[in-house]
Structure 1
Amino acid sequence: MRTTSWRSFAAATVGLIAGVNAQTGQLTDLGTLLSGQKNLTTFYGLIQIDLQKYPQILLQLPSFNGVTILAPNNDAFDKIPYSSLNNAFKNNDQDVITNVLEYHILQGTRLAAQLVPGTPVFIPTLLTSPEYTNVTGGQNVQNVEQAGDVVVFVSGLGSRSTLTQKDLSFNGGVVQVIDSLLIPPANLTDTLNAFNYTAFEGGLYASDLVETFTTQPNVTIFAPADSAFQALGPAIANMTSDELATILDYTILPKIVYSTGLTNGTKFLTQQGENITILHSGNNVYVNSAQLIQADILIANGVLHVIDNVLNPQGPGAQPNPQLATQVPAFASASSIDFLPYTSAIPCTVSCPVSSTSGSSSITRTSSVGAQSTGASTGTSTTSHSSSSSKGLAAAMARETGFGAAGLMVALGGAVLMI
């Protein structure tokens, strides 16, 4: 058991990398740059620890033809005790800390001055471990300049870090100082839970598509909001598992397409086999007749976009009516209901009912924390795909990670809520 705190370890190793890769050129080396910034002493200490255990991370940086290091300032680390990152840092879990730090190193030199206001860019990082990401070439971070010359970096679960000090050059790239730690993207089900899109999540369980949607690499998913499922009512709630699977396969693309790639008139081939069409009207973006209402939520295996309608593969030519605030359902037999279809298909992992007799319909599940699994590890369940009207119960369900890094997403998954 580790008894040395990460802060003490960091303080004891100050000075280790001052002069690493030092050159005689005009720019200073990374160690000298970081050691000269009083607001980066904590990050500087962590980099030194990282160099001791995994020296290749920093020593190989020149091979990337320049990097951008997103350096959390001291205030960012002071927020850790109030977040789910606390245990990893308190216990000096160097595996978790190292992978988090790798997510703070962007491939290529990225200057804030080069950003086009309002246009996001998605930048690959050095986080490539399959235990933490399923995106080819390194998990991505979103970078965008907003109104008022505010530059933000968006990471997992929509976590936002604001740039506080920009374009500090060293001889291997540039350092950008941020006010909060980045959170590596969580898997799909944890992300859906965090954003409370539980009807779509329940549909994945009911159609046996959870594993496919969470483990397939490099995907784009158009998830209908809960209200979209409620608007369909019996038109979707009474579907068989196979029929529902066909509908949901029409929401996934076997490639990553961020919002910047959703250009007017573009068609994309879905996993179901039919095309979807991207249409623009003013500032609104539509997928067939469904309006895009939330874009670019990073997930472990790609990107998630949220739409206001359930897509119908039998009507790929559906057109939006830009005059309507909410689009008409793409299913002729739709009728609104006041409960969420499929949420009871989500396996229970928290405050679960106790199963009684063999004829009981109760569900008993335990979470598969730390296991490479997309479902519950033990217990029994019914085969019914009935619906629940309790959003609170649904939000408490299905906390499985889908990763094997000793519960990494348990340590990181909720951090965005506090950081």
Structure 2
Amino acid sequence: MKTALLALSATLALVAVPATAKNPMVGGAAMYSTKTIVQNAINSKDHTTLVAAVKAAGLVDTLNSKGPFTVFAPTNAAFAKLPAGTVETLVKPENKDTLTKILTYHVVSGRITAGQIASMAAHHHGTATLTTVEGGKLMFKKHGKGFQVIDAKGGKARITIANVMQSNGVIHVIDSVLMP
């Protein structure tokens, strides 16, 4: 099973998205397919908490590297849903390991588009499952016109903006923080 998942991930990473596809605006900023995940995220006013967390976890260099990566990027409003003081506690140096685990749970190896998620779900009774860089699983189910992401604890996030192409992957904006 693990071999099949690795083979599927490798195959999906090779599927190209047309270079002519126009990226949606995110957080009031243009997103450029020629920039990295971090270079674009820094410009989104809706992702300042995520960017601060990525910096605190020491993941900037990783998310600026070649990748490719698929990032399910929680908005500031998603982080605000967490219990009071959670973000402030997580970004403290002594909590770096926990923060890194949570953030890498939002990342999948490869460039996985919403269309690929939909195709996988169509072939697996309406759900798709992806393995995160952290090693956990994310399940995807059709929800309205888009997809819902279900984390290991049963928490749910909606993909609000899909297919924001980056030079080193793709971002899907989500409305809740996922927990491993």
TM-score normalized with structure 1 length: 0.32
- Residue 211 in structure 1 maps to residue 66 in structure 2: no
Percentage identity across paired residues of the two chains:
23
Choose from 126, 129, 140 the match for 1:278: 140
1:208–1:225 distance in 2 versus 1, CA, 3 Å: same
Higher helix proportion? 2
For structure 2, which runs of at least 5 residues remain unmatched after alignment? Answer: 1-12, 26-31, 122-126, 151-155
Whichever residue aligns with residue 270 of structure 1, its letter is: T
Distance 1:138 1:308, change over 3 A: closer
Q: Are the equivalent residues in 2 in contact too, given 1:257–1:303 (CA < 8 A)?
A: yes
Matched with 1:303 is: 170
Residue matched to 1:237 = 88
Does the C-alpha gap of structure 1 residues 312 and 193 become closer, same or farther in structure 2, counting only changes over 3 Å?
Answer: same
- Name which structure has the greater RCO, CA cutoff 8 Å, separation 6+: 2
Relative to structure 1, the CA distance from residue 142 to residue 295 in structure 2 (aligned partners, 3 Å threshold; closer, same or farther) is farther
Aligned residue runs from structure 1 range 26-105, under 5 A: none
Identify the residue that residue 154 of structure 1 maps to in structure 2: 22
- Name the counterpart of 1:141: 18
Instruction: Output the CA distance in 1 between the equivalents of 2:89 and 2:14.
Output: 41
Structure 2 residue aligned with 1:379? none
Cα RMSD after superposing both structures: 2.4
3-state SS of 1:312 partner: coil
Matches of 1:296 and 1:245 in 2, distance apart? 24
Partner of 1:257: 112
Measure, in 1, the Cα distance between the counterparts of 2:116 and 2:16.
Answer: 18
Superposed counterparts of 1:146-225, under 5 Å: 153-155=21-23, 158=25, 184-196=33-45, 197-225=47-75
SS in 2 for 1:194: coil
Deviation (angstroms), 1:226: 0.8
Look at both structures and tell me which one has the larger radius of gyration over its CA atoms: 1
User: What residue ranges of structure 1 are gaps of 5+ in the alignment?
Assistant: 1-135, 144-152, 159-182, 314-419
1:266-310 alpha-carbon deviations (Å, 9 max, x no partner): 100000011000011332411111001011111110100000000
Matches within 5 A, 1:309-324: 309-313=176-180
Determine the C-alpha separation between the residues in 1 that align with 2:39 and 2:16: 17
Q: CA deviation at 1:236?
A: 3.2
Post-superposition Cα deviations, 1:214-254, rounded to whole Å, max 9, x if no partner, equal: 21411100000110111213233212111100000000001
**How many residues are aligned here?**
145
Give the Cα separation in 2 of the matches to 1:312 and 1:300: 27
